[in-house]
Amino acid sequence: MNKKEKSQKIISDLNNEYPKVSVTLDFVNPLELLVATILAAQCTDARVNIVTQDLFKKYKKIEDYANADLSELELDIRSTGFYRNKAKNIKNTCQIILDKFDGVVPKTMEELLTLPGVARKTANIVLSNSYGIIAGIAVDAHTKRLTQRLGLTDQQNPVKIENELMELVPKEHWHKFTYLMVEHGRKICQAKKPLHDECILKEICPSSTL
């Protein structure tokens, strides 16, 4: 079985196991998703969703972030970790969106990547979930870990991993692929102790025999 065949079997098996996977960040508009995804770096979605319950009530418009007192914004997002950098990136990003994009979260990969704190993972999540634009595959920690364990890639750089996956995964599955990895990573293929005996992919997973 080559890598492309293996990727298709992985998608088929995980689709059967997790038919209704989707993004787990709470949001109602592109700005909220952008902020939530920036906060999700090195933080669980569950923690981010707790923080944004109050955050999105306090900061309702892009101007609220752009004009925010930085120290106050830091306190508001402190429990997500790396809060100083995240607060600075959110504030600066919203200022740039106001100045350069008429206050509208950009709809292209190229434009999103000009924003502080936004790499391809964040841009892919915002584009696909807010605008229905599929530009690539979001490579988060789960996607990186699982695709390496499954033998789909030996790359370490998320952009290189994404490029490999885009060659292996049919485009119609790009959006959902990340969330299949996330769901399986949380339930079975955990970082410290993968549950090999319970894994539906153990027959094709090189790491299951290690």
Helix (H, G, I), strand (E, B) or coil at 63: helix
Catalytic, out of 140, 144, 160, 171: 140
* Helices 141-149 & 158-168 angle (0-180, nearest 10): 60
Closest CA to 18 of 146, 166, 165: 146
The full length of the chain comes to: 210
What is the distance, to the nearest Å, from the Cα of residue 169 to the centroid of all Cα atoms in its chain?
Answer: 17
Q: Which residues of 160-186 are buried (b: 16+ CB within 10 A; e: fewer)?
A: ebbbbbeebbeeebbbbbbbbbbbbbe
Backbone angles phi, psi at 61, to 5 degrees: -125, 160
Whether residue 140 lies in the annotated active site:
yes
Contact 51, 206 (CB under 8 A): no
Catalytic, out of 121, 144, 154, 193: 121
Q: How far is the CA of 190 from the CAs of 36, 59, 82, 142, in angstroms?
A: 23, 34, 23, 8
Between CA 83 and CA 209 the distance in angstroms is 40
Contact 72, 64 (CB under 8 A): no
Whether residue 121 lies in the annotated active site:
yes
Give the residue numbers annotated as catalytic, written as ranges: 121, 140
